Amino acid sequence: MPTAPLSFWMTVAFFMGAIIGSFLNVVIWRMPRGQNLSVPGSHCPNCNDPIPAYLNIPLFSFLVLGAKCRNCRKPISWRYFAVELLTAILFVLLTRHFGQTLESVGYCLFFAALTAAFFIDLELFIIPDQLNTFALGMGIAVDGWRIYGGHTSHKLMFGLLPHSIFGAISCAGVFVGIQFLGRALFRKESMGDGDVKLARAIGALLPLGLALVSFLLAIAIGAVVGIVSLAFAKKQPEVEAFDEHAEEAQEMQPWWAGFVYLVFGDLLLQFCAFLRIPAAMKLLNSWEGEVPPELEDEEWNPGPTHIPFGPFMVTGALVSVFLGDRLITMYLNWAGIR
C-alpha cells in the first residue's frame, strides 16, 4: 500500500500547526495569569464578546475581520496571527526535516511549548513550570521512542541511563553553575530558575553537543541584542522599582534550590504538593517564597537594559536543530581538528 508523499504531511502539519498556534495564544495569555485554559471560551480581550466557531478559524478569521473585533471594532494584536503563522511554519519545517515519523510529532509539540514560553518570557519575564515540564516530557518521550526503535545513537548509557536524562542533568548543571557563580561574584541572581528548567528540557531532547551549541548561540544573540539595548537605553529614564523587586526575590531563593533540578526533585515536590501532602506543600512554599504584600499590587516595570534570556534559548535551540551539526563541522574544520 503506497504511503502519502511528504508534501501531503507537510500540508497537514501546516494546518495542525495553525490550530495548535491558536491554542498557544490562549496559553500565552491565560497560563501566566493563573486562568483556566478552557473556560470561558474564546472571546475578545477588549469587550469579552464570545467568538463563534465560524469566526474562530486560525489565520483566516483574523484577516477576514481586518484584525478587529466584530463587536467593539477595537484592534486585536497582530501577535495572535503571528503565533498561529509561526507555529504552522515551524511544524512544516520540522516535518520536512524529520519526515513522516513520530519524532516529527515529538519535535513539533516540544517547540510548540517553547513558542509559548518565548512570548510569555518576552512579555512577563517568566516561563511557566507547566511549559518546561511538558517540554521535558516530550524530550524524554522522543528519546524513549528512539531507544525502543533500536537507534544506535540512543542506546542506554552504561546499559542503564537514557541519553535524555543525562543531557537534561548536564544542561541543568551548566545553568545551575552559572547561578552559583553569579551569586558568588555579584551577590545576585544571574540566571532565573525558569531558564534552568528550560535548559534541562532542551538537554533532554537534543544531543548534548547540539544542546551546548544552542546555548552558545543564545549567548551570542543575547549579546548582540544586549549591546543594542544598552545603546538605546542611554536615552531612556531609569526604572528604579525593578532592582528593588529583584533584590527582594533574590533574598527569598534558598541556596539549595539549584541542586534540586539535577535530580528532578522539583517535579517530585510539585507532584507531592498536588496530592496535598503537608510536608511537600510547606517545603515548596519555603522554596518559592511568598511575594511581600506591598509588592503584590505594584506593576512590575523591567528596566530598559533588562532582557529575558528565554527567547534567546528558544531561538538557539531551533537553529541548532536545523544547522547545529553543520556549525559543529564548520568549527572543527576551522580549528583544524578534522
Q: Is residue 238 part of a domain?
A: yes
Q: Is residue 261 part of a domain?
A: no
Task: Determine if the pTM surpasses 0.85.
Answer: yes
pLDDT digits (tens, 9 = 90+) for 206-226: 999 999 999 999 999 999 988
Q: Is residue 36 part of a domain?
A: yes
Q: Is residue 105 part of a domain?
A: no
Same domain, 183 and 332: yes
Question: How many domains does the chain fold into?
Answer: 2
The percent of the chain in helix, strand and coil, each rounded to the nearest 5, is 70, 0, 30
Same domain, 151 and 71: no
Same domain, 89 and 178: no
pLDDT digits (tens, 9 = 90+) for 173-190: 999 888 888 777 777 766
CB atoms within 10 A of CB 336: 6
Give CA separation, 6 vs 15, 19, 84, 94, 96, in Å: 15, 20, 22, 12, 7
d(CA 294, CA 282): 23
Same domain, 71 and 12: yes
Residue with cell 534570556: 309
Same domain, 139 and 61: no
Same domain, 69 and 158: no
Q: Is residue 281 part of a domain?
A: no
Q: Is residue 33 part of a domain?
A: yes
Average pLDDT over residues 5-31: 95
Domain range for 214 is 129-253+289-338
pLDDT beyond 90 at 64: no
Same domain, 136 and 94: no
**Residue 12 pLDDT level (bands cut at 50, 70, 90):** very high
On average, the pLDDT of the chain sits at: 83
Cβ(287)–Cβ(269) below 8 Å? yes
Same domain, 217 and 329: yes
Single out the residue of 139, 137, 264 nearest to residue 196, CA to CA: 264
